[in-house]
Homo-oligomer: A and B are copies of this chain.
Amino acid sequence: MDAADAAAEAAEIGEEDIVEHIFEAVIEQRLPPGTKLSESALCDAFGVGRMRIRRALLLLASRQIVELHANRGAFVASPTSEQAHEVFEARLMLEPSIARLAVTRATDAEIALLADHIEREHQAHHAGRRRDAIRLSGQFHGLLAQVAGNPTMMRIMKEMITRTSLIIGIFGAQDMTDCRDHDHSRIVDRIRARDADGAARLMQDHLQQIKTDLDLSNKVTTGLDLVSILKR
């Protein structure tokens, strides 16, 4: 259906669209880490030539969302526990500051938008729509970066959020729903109250919580590991 959908769009489908599509799929954990992304498969999935796919994969690789192995193809990235540490360290540096900025710059309309987003998160969570809940949970952090009003930062955050999805897919407990929407709700409360320090601290606690919920001693699920495991 993806193929039909994409083919229906027809006309012009740029590599940016493909990148966006794959980003979404990774965030929703429909593409687990280590999944092979063969060129021919993607070609008739999106109904475009090999060149576009190749460029899209290169862009995704430059964003650390896929890994390119020479003569072997493209695979959805499998972050190591070290990389997971890195990502959370970076997010802990950035996102409290982003929350501060959001407090400063959020218009009433944007606050309403955030509240609405949280409502949808809440609904998806209670309706058991796990996939939507995961996606919305990630998108909340992206929305916050958008409210902060810095496109450069947004781009960085989009990468971090997506990589976090991969990390949770590898190291997270199965019942874990990424972020609890309650944490998000409290952050928006602080934004509404124009409490920059409070929002920053809540964001820090929130990220710390997510990180400690992970089991960073687990190992990767990529093909190369099977080799090293089964070699014994």
Contact = CB atoms under 8 A, between A and B. Distances in A.
Looking at chain A's contact residues, the main secondary structure is helix
A86 B151 contact: yes
Given A93-B97, A94-B94, A153 B55 contact: no
B90 A93 contact: no
A123 interface: no
Contact of A89 (B55, B64, B153): B153
A90 B152 contact: yes
Contact of A86 (B62, B90, B98, B150): B150
A63 B62 CA distance: 8
Contacts of A55: 58
A179 interface: no
A97 B156 CA distance: 16
A107 B93 CA distance: 22
Interface residues of A, number: 21
A124 interface: no
Contact of A59 (B62, B83, B90, B151): B62
Contacts of A153: 86, 89-90, 93
A87 interface: yes
Nearest to A14: B70
A87 B63 CA distance: 18
A153 B86 CA distance: 8
